[in-house]
Structure 1
Amino acid sequence: MDSKNTDSLTQFNTLGLKADCFRLVRARQEAELIAVCLQAFKQLEPLLLIGGGSNIVLTETFQGTAVLVETKGIEVSQDEKYYYLSVEAGEVWHDLIKFCLDNKMPGLENLALIPGSVGAAPIQNIGAYGAELAQFCNWVEYLDLASGEIKRLKGAECEFAYRESIFKNALKHSAVILRVGFVLSKAWQPNLSYGPLQALSERTQGVTPREVFDCICETRMAKLPDPAVLGNVGSFFKNPVVSQQTFDALKQQYADIVGYALEDSQVKLAAGWLIDRAGLKGQSVGNAVVHLKQALVIVNRGGCSGQDVCDLAELVIDRIFEQFGVRLEVEPRVIGATGQKELADA
Structure 2
Amino acid sequence: MIRDFYDIDLSGRNSFHVRQRAARLVEFETTDDLTAFFRKGAPAKWTVLAGGNNILFTQDFDGVLLTPRAASIDVVAEAPDAVAVRAEAGVEWDDLVAWAVERDLWGIENLSLIPGKVGAAPVQNIGAYGAEAKDAIESVEMFCTDTCNTLILSREHCAFGYRESVFKHALRGRVVITAVTFRLSRRPRPDLGYGDLLRETEARGGATLRNIREAVCAIRRSKLPDTAVLGNAGSFFKNPVVEAAVAERLRTDYPALPLYPAAEGRMKLAAGWLIEQAGMKGHREGCVGVHDQQALVLVNYGGATGGEVLALAHKVQEAVRAKFGVEIAAEVNVL
What is the TM-score of this pair, normalised by structure 2? 0.95
Q: What residue in structure 2 maps to residue 64 of structure 1? A: 63
Secondary structure at the counterpart of residue 115 of structure 2: coil
Q: Is the 8 A contact 2:10 2:20 kept in 1?
A: yes
Q: What residue in structure 1 maps to residue 73 of structure 2? A: 74
Displacement, 1:30?
A: 4.0
Displacement, 1:39?
A: 5.0
- Structure 1 letter corresponding to 2:175: A
Q: What residue in structure 2 maps to residue 276 of structure 1? A: 276
With over 3 angstroms needed to count, the CA separation of the structure-2 counterparts of 1:331 and 1:324, relative to structure 1, is same
With over 3 angstroms needed to count, the CA separation of the structure-2 counterparts of 1:43 and 1:197, relative to structure 1, is closer
Q: Is the 8 A contact 1:285 1:309 kept in 2?
A: no
Residues 257-293 of structure 1 deviation map (CA, whole Å, 9 limit, x = unaligned)? 1111234332111100000011102323442211111
Q: Is the 8 A contact 1:27 1:33 kept in 2?
A: yes
Q: Matches of 1:28 and 1:112 in 2, distance apart?
A: 25
Q: What residue in structure 2 maps to residue 88 of structure 1? A: 88
Displacement, 1:15?
A: 0.4
Displacement, 1:79?
A: 1.2
With over 3 angstroms needed to count, the CA separation of the structure-2 counterparts of 1:4 and 1:136, relative to structure 1, is same
Q: Matches of 2:324 and 2:262 in 1, distance apart?
A: 20
Query: Could you tell me the percent identity over the aligned residues?
Result: 39
RMSD: 1.8
Displacement, 1:201?
A: 7.5
With over 3 angstroms needed to count, the CA separation of the structure-2 counterparts of 1:39 and 1:322, relative to structure 1, is farther
Structure 1 gap segments, 5+ residues each:
336-346
- Structure 1 letter corresponding to 2:47: L
Q: Is the 8 A contact 1:30 1:71 kept in 2?
A: no
Structure 2 gap segments, 5+ residues each:
none
Q: Is the 8 A contact 2:142 2:177 kept in 1?
A: yes
Q: What residue in structure 1 maps to residue 218 of structure 2? A: 218
Q: Which is further off, 248-257 or 22-31?
A: 22-31
Residues 219-276 of structure 1 deviation map (CA, whole Å, 9 limit, x = unaligned)? 0001000000000000000000112211111112112111112343321111000000
Q: What residue in structure 2 maps to residue 22 of structure 1? A: 23
Q: Which is further off, 266-275 or 185-194?
A: 185-194
Q: What residue in structure 2 maps to residue 46 of structure 1? A: 45
Runs of 4+ in 1 over 6 A off after TM superposition: none
Q: Matches of 1:248 and 1:101 in 2, distance apart?
A: 40
Q: Matches of 1:202 and 1:67 in 2, distance apart?
A: 43
Q: Is the 8 A contact 1:200 1:207 kept in 2?
A: no
Q: Is the 8 A contact 1:278 1:319 kept in 2?
A: yes
Q: What residue in structure 2 maps to residue 191 of structure 1? A: 191
| 1:8 has 2:9 as partner | yes
Q: Which is further off, 118-127 or 191-200?
A: 191-200
Q: What residue in structure 1 maps to residue 36 of structure 2? A: 35
Q: Matches of 2:247 and 2:211 in 1, distance apart?
A: 34
Displacement, 1:184?
A: 1.0
Kindly report which structure 2 residues correspond to 1:1-346, keeping only aligned pairs within 5 A, or say none: 1-36=2-37, 38=38, 42-76=41-75, 77-199=77-199, 207-335=207-335
With over 3 angstroms needed to count, the CA separation of the structure-2 counterparts of 1:113 and 1:202, relative to structure 1, is closer
Q: Matches of 1:333 and 1:219 in 2, distance apart?
A: 25
Q: Is the 8 A contact 1:107 1:184 kept in 2?
A: yes
Displacement, 1:186?
A: 1.9
What is the TM-score of this pair, normalised by structure 1? 0.92
Q: Is the 8 A contact 1:33 1:69 kept in 2?
A: no
